[in-house]
Amino acid sequence: MEKSRPLVSLRQTRLPLPEMSTWLGRAWTVLGGVSIRTKIMGIVLALTVALGLGVTWQVRSVMERVFFAELDSRGRSVASDLAARSVDPLLLNDLYGLHQLLKETVANHPDALYGFVRDREGQVLAHTFGSDGFPVALLSLPDPQNPADGILVTRFDSSQGIIHDFAAPIFEGRAGVLHLGLTETRLHSVVNTVTGQMLLTTLAVAVAGILAALFLTWLLTQPILQLVESTQEVGRGNLQARAPHWADDEIGALADAFNQMVQDLEVSRQAIVEKDAARSRLLEQLITAQEEERKRISRELHDGVGQALSSLMVGMKVIAQLDDPAQIRQRTEALRQMAAQTLEEVRLLSRQLRPSVLDDLGLEAALERYVGEFQQLYPDIQVDLHVALGHRLPPTHEIILYRILQEAMTNAARHSGCSTLSVLIQQRSDHVQAIVEDDGHGFDPVAAQREGRSVGIHGMTERAELVGGTLEIESSPDGTAIYVALPLPAGRL
């Protein structure tokens, strides 16, 4: 006895997940390497062929079902009519008339292949096969056993295709049985002809679909290819490249967005170039100013403090040689005044380098002192200072604001020709704001920065941006206003 083999489990037939992912990855790589034009053409061709073949198969199936049902219905009707018309010739024993009746029926019916009548004993009384003789195989066709059952239909295969044999009892079976054979050959020919025409139509539609797909893919891919070329040009540094606007669709919107991006990139690069140039000029002037400041400090130390100390040393040497107390007191008082003056010069020099009051007392006190010194240098300018701070700012914010306000006030005094200068500092919820306004003749800040004539403005902007702040300038013939906003750290809110 043969042993039964064990069933193969579904788990053994499944692909492992790594192999499946690898296969999907390879398939995606192959599909991803195909051009969009080929993909669209493949989709259009596949849909056209699938739709054409599907419709053809459905139409063919429906036609065969309808034609063969109609063939059975028509065969039953013809066989029933022919059986009724065969009663009289049989009763009159007119076999010639019966033969002619069968022959005319077969000749007039396009699907009729044969017709014959046999009596109750099975003897063939008349048929339509002529001189070729009656096929003995047809004698095995069944007859209706019960006349009340009506016509008996038998389907069999022959050298001429499928044949439908309709056996109809004559005179309720008492006069014999009529057999009428209808073939499917003509119907199959009609179905094949219609199928061929539909396949030709499918082929024509597929060709038209390919041509339409070619035109469609050209419309879709041409602007994309030009957009790719423009992108490559931009990548090579040509910011003058622009993608053409083909139509007001999604690709046109993409081209417009790309062009706007390139334009913004060009503006940004120009701004970066201008900013780098201004920064270079600022750095150059800062280095120059630094060297000039060092030279000034060196000169003041040498000419002022150095000479004063030398005079003190000479004066003390002279005092040591005097014997008159009155002259000693007079010389000592002169030396004391000289030392006090030298000390004041050193303090002034120290405040100019960095005001110590800014570290000790804060921004408000430092600005008040600076405003006092400012009005001594520019007595024709009236300065109005308002400071509203809840508490001291971070050291970095204080020195940045101090230097920005110092530069703004100095620029206004030197270049604007103003008579009134207003300085306002106030603390908001999350930032500190400073405003410097003058009533001078104004200027064009954009042109000044572009032409490199205002390194001070660039320096103020750079200082504000160090802590994430902003600096804006509004100027007109009636005056200039500078707005500074510096964000405060979270711990200072």
The CATH number assigned to the domain holding 83 equals 3.30.450.20
Q: How far apart are CA 382 and CA 418, in angstroms?
A: 9
- C-alpha triplet 297, 299, 300: angle, nearest 5°: 65
- Domain limit, last residue, from 192, 223, 245: 192
Residues paired with residue 473 on neighbouring β-strands, in sequence order: 482
- Domain limit, last residue, from 192, 225, 246: 192
- C-alpha triplet 442, 447, 453: angle, nearest 5°: 85
- Domain limit, last residue, from 131, 162, 192: 192
**148-181 pLDDT, tens per residue?**
778 999 999 988 889 999 999 988 888 889 999 9
Please indicate, yes or no, if residue 297 is contained in any of the structural domains: no
Please indicate, yes or no, if residue 78 is contained in any of the structural domains: yes
Q: What is the pLDDT of residue 4?
A: 39
Which residues neighbour 424 within 8 Å (Cβ) at sequence distance 6 or greater?
386, 434, 435, 436, 437
Q: How far apart are CA 101 and CA 85, in angstroms?
A: 8
Listing DSSP states for 105-157 in one string gives HHHH-TTEEEEEEE-TTS-EEEES-GGG---GGGGGS---SSGGG--EEEEEE
Sequence-distant contacts of 143-146: CB under 8 A, at least 24 apart: 143/167, 143/169, 143/177, 144/168, 144/169, 144/173, 144/177
CATH number, residue 405: 3.30.565.10
Could you list the beta-strand ranges (E) of 171-297.
176-183
Please indicate, yes or no, if residue 3 is contained in any of the structural domains: no
| Intervals of the chain under pLDDT 50 | 1-15
Q: Percentage of the chain with pLDDT > 90?
A: 19
Please indicate, yes or no, if residue 488 is contained in any of the structural domains: yes
Q: What is the pLDDT of residue 134?
A: 87
Residues paired with residue 126 on neighbouring β-strands, in sequence order: 117
Please indicate, yes or no, if residue 271 is contained in any of the structural domains: no
Look at the chain and report how many structural domains it folds into: 2
Q: How far apart are CA 422 and CA 440, in angstroms?
A: 12
What values do phi and psi take at 379, rounded to 5? -70, -15
Q: What is the pLDDT of residue 166?
A: 94
How far is CA 441 from its chain centroid?
A: 51
Please indicate, yes or no, if residue 126 is contained in any of the structural domains: yes
- Give the domain range for residue 117: 36-192
Please indicate, yes or no, if residue 187 is contained in any of the structural domains: yes
In single-letter form, the type of residue at position 22 comes to T
Instruction: Look at the block and give the residue holding tokens 């005044």.
Output: 337
**90-114 pLDDT, tens per residue?**
888 888 999 999 999 999 999 999 9
**426-458 pLDDT, tens per residue?**
988 888 999 999 998 888 887 776 665 566 787
Please indicate, yes or no, if residue 203 is contained in any of the structural domains: no
